[in-house]
Amino acid sequence: MSCASRTEQILLYYHGELPPSESEEVRRHLEACAACRAELERQRLFAQAVEAARGEPPPELLAACRRALSETLARERASSGWQERLASWFVSPLPGRPAWGKLAGALAVLALGFLGGRLSTGLGPGLSFRPEPAGLRVRYIEHTPAGELRLQVEESRTRWVRGPLTDETVRRLLLEAARDPIDPAVRADALETLREVAERPEVRKVFLEALERDPNPAIRLKALEGLKPYADDPDNRQVLSKALLSDGDANVRAMAVELLATSPRADVVETLQALLGRESDAYIRQRSARILQAMNASPGIF
């Protein structure tokens, strides 16, 4: 094999994408070939230039990407053979696309994840970050002709964003955390913290979203706690009525009926009447009947 034909192999070698046997063959060739070593150095300089030119993403990008990824994986799991389709994308190049196109696609995915994990240092007045120790992983070990070692290392780093709850950046991050599809503990902490600013429309919106969509009943209860001071709002009452009729957790339904009972109105009469015909929990049935009685409304629908 000529040196010119090894260019693609050297690119894959640098990024650790070659099988072990081919990688060892390229390594041995590099020890004896100055031209190919120069090509490897060009690849290294190019990678450094790309890294130096990389821009910082908005701090909420990581959470948004995680949420989008989780939703996409959930949809894919519902259809058969998604693993095979994903694997075939990386293994088999598209017609007319050279093999290095697969590597470019893989690098793009890795770059997005790396970029998303780096919070912006321009966090605004009153904000700061504290870096955590970096996590290092050796991807490849290279022996140079001079007897030195070159280690290809992956580095991951987390950062702390600090600021008051009144700061827009902090609130935006908390809103993203309240929608985090991965960690229910993070969602619960975010909702609990956001209760302090629940008067803001965007915060109440995230409470309503959690009550309607979150699969964890403990999170839905947290959302109800945040909505307590706003049970009179027509939009909130509509979502509370929906939760009372359709939520699968009795504790959530019980809290929903209590919130509606704090300000009995004619708009919930039909909801409570419909509930009595289907509710299996004795307490919720009795509580609904008492609310209807206090409103001089019939317990049945005519």
Domain boundaries, the chain: 1-55, 164-214, 231-302
Where is average pLDDT lowest: 13-27, 56-70, 106-120, 182-196? 106-120
Where is average pLDDT lowest: 34-43, 134-143, 183-192, 254-263? 134-143
Where is average pLDDT lowest: 71-75, 179-183, 243-247? 71-75
Would you state the pLDDT for residue 142? 79
Residue 219, pLDDT > 90, answer yes
Residue 115, pLDDT > 70, answer no
pLDDT digits (tens, 9 = 90+) for 11-52: 888 877 778 778 888 888 888 888 888 888 888 888 777 766
Where is average pLDDT lowest: 13-27, 86-100, 182-196, 220-234? 86-100
Would you state the pLDDT for residue 102? 45
Would you state the pLDDT for residue 97? 42
Average pLDDT, the chain: 75
Would you state the pLDDT for residue 252? 92
Residue 1, pLDDT > 50, answer yes
pLDDT digits (tens, 9 = 90+) for 271-299: 888 888 888 888 898 888 888 888 887 77
Helix 269-276 crosses helix 234-246 at what angle (to 10 degrees)? 0
CB neighbours of 173 closer than 8 A, spacing ≥ 6?
A: 59, 60, 63, 161
Q: What are the b/e assignments for 215-229, b being 16+ CB within 10 Å?
A: eeeebbbbbbebbee
pTM above 0.75, yes or no: no
Q: Is the dihedral of CA 8, 13, 18, 23 positive or negative?
A: positive
pLDDT over 70, % of the chain: 70
pLDDT digits (tens, 9 = 90+) for 131-181: 444 566 777 777 878 877 777 777 667 778 888 888 898 899 999 999 988
- Name the residue with higher pLDDT: 74 or 56: 74
Would you state the pLDDT for residue 54? 59
